[in-house]
Structure 1
Amino acid sequence: MPSGATPPFAPAPRDGPPGVERPFVSFAEPATYGDDTARVRPFRGVRARPRPLTAAACVVLGLGLIGGAVTGSWLTGGDTDEPGSRGAFAAAGELWHSVPVDRLFPPTVRGDGAGPGGSDRAWTRIAVAPDTGCKDAFDPLLRQALAPVGCLRLLRATYVDATRSHVTTVGLLFTKADAAAMTSLKARFRKEGLDRRTDLMPRPYAAKGTAAEDFGKAQRASWTESVLTDAPVVVYAVSGFADGRAVATPQPAAEAMKTDSTAAVAQAGLGHEARGLADRVERSLRKTVTSATEKPS
């Protein structure tokens, strides 16, 4: 396959679910009165100022406004440190080795309104995987789908819900891509529905001695994948039953969260588990990026 070419994908299985710009200052056209030699009649007792002095004052004022605008832009840092800018994008790509794991994957996560019907959820972290590359971390087709953005580092953690009946692995894939490449990948995922294909599900992290030790590929029940465009990161989560039961028909979270779905995965709320935890880890990531790029007051 030629370098840079987009890898093909096998058809989906039949049984699977379907800048800040600088301020612009302009000056109005000078008023004219038809007779350039005319002079304004002064009030009694008040001496009129010569026109050259007035014109000079206007020039000084205009230069002051322009200089103030430029200085203001410099003091605010231009367009490099605003959220979503190149500065924030680059800062996000460094978080995997510069931020404590407890900030990326908090020991406990609250999911107010994240459950079915707006019910509350809470998750407790039970395992953190060593940060690694992406070799053997994804199924082959998902690895091909993510190849255009590359793999810098992969961070993963597994959580259990408050009832200890569901386990969910959430992952942060830090890529080597720029904003354009991330935008392109996001568009492809959306257009081709790659985040809904059962043969493109992420793998769980099963840690021995925890409630997730039997959380293997066959136990994957629901999942979600989000390609960010303001950070070189792909956020994903995959959920399953804590008792290790195999799931014959997994559902993407978007499908499992539908109120009219009668599938066992949906009825168990596993779509909400995956989406709810992934969303909150993503929010935490964004807050960390904002904090890292804020200028001291």
Structure 2
Amino acid sequence: MAIVGSLCCLTAGAIGLVFELTRPPASTQAAELGTMEQADRWRTWNADRIFPRMQGQGARLYAVRLGIAQESGCADGLNPVAQAIVWEPGCERVLRATYSDRNGSLLATVAIVVMRDEHAAASVAEAGLAGPRPAAFPGTLAARFGDAQAQQHVMERQGRYLVMAAVGYPDGRPALAHAARSVFGFAGRLVDDTLLPLASAGDPCRAVEVVSC
């Protein structure tokens, strides 16, 4: 009787474990896991997915990637103004890539700034406009792209992500007092198209530690 009872308990336990590991997440769990998946995309997605080689397709192609900078801390990836704004709320990492427009007449370094949480990102967005440190790549149109060449900055936020851009010209000219509006438009479009995939609804089945959905 004792043996039979033990076997029944073991069987019931095994069935319960299988159910627990294979059951779909409840609605509240799904929402939490979806948020987790979205927040981890900066390190779970590959570089080409985060920074596509081209933005737009065919006749709508408007930007070509020149290079991806090494992942960095916030002090190395942001200009001094941005560093001062993000430091206290809690900046974790910065990912950067530089693009040219389809004609090679404009450059923009786009940066994904990963903040500690959504509240930290919101506080930075409210503080004012800030930008990344331009990423130069020898042997490309962006060989002379540095802080002094940044004509304008653009910034948008969603969740824990801030996406910033510094835009300028490939000929090394210093920042102008009044940059053309076309410069702003190119950078703004890049920021929006970089942020949109990161900010889309999270997939709970792709979150870390989810066994089954």
The structure-2 alpha-carbon separation of the partners of 1:225 and 1:204, relative to structure 1 and needing over 3 Å to count, comes to: same
1:140 aligns with 2:80: yes
What's 2:187 paired with? Answer: 274
1:223 equivalent in alignment to 2:133: no
TM-score, structure 2 as length reference: 0.76
- Separation in 2 of the partners of 1:208 and 1:105? 19
Which segments of 5 or more consecutive residues in structure 1 lack a partner in the other structure?
1-73, 113-118, 250-262
Gaps of 5+ in 2: 1-22
**How far off is 1:120 after superposition?**
4.8
Change (3 A) 1:184 1:137: closer
The structure in which a higher percent of residues are strand is 2
SS in 1 for 2:121: helix
Q: Is the 8 A contact 1:157 1:205 kept in 2?
A: yes
More helix by share: 2
1:181 alignment partner, one of 87, 110, 120: 120
Name the SS for the 2:103 alignment partner.
coil
Q: How does 1:129-278 map to 2 (within 5 A)?
A: 129-177=69-117, 179-186=118-125, 188-189=126-127, 194-195=128-129, 200-228=130-158, 230=159, 232-249=160-177, 263-266=178-181, 269-278=182-191
Q: In 2, are the aligned partners of 1:96 and 1:153 still within 8 Å (CA)?
A: no
Identity %: 25
Higher relative contact order (CA 8 A, sep 6+): 2
Higher Cα Rg, which structure: 1
The alignment's TM-score, normalised by the length of structure 1, stands at 0.56
Match of 1:126 among 66, 72, 81: 66
How far the C-alpha of 1:287 sits from its partner, in A, is: 4.1
* Superposed displacement of residue 78, structure 1: 1.8
Task: Calculate the aligned-residue CA RMSD, in Å.
Answer: 2.7
- The number of equivalent residue pairs is 187
User: What is the Cα deviation at residue 264 of structure 1?
Assistant: 4.2
Partners of 1:290 and 1:110 lie apart in 2 by 25
1:79 aligns with 2:28: yes
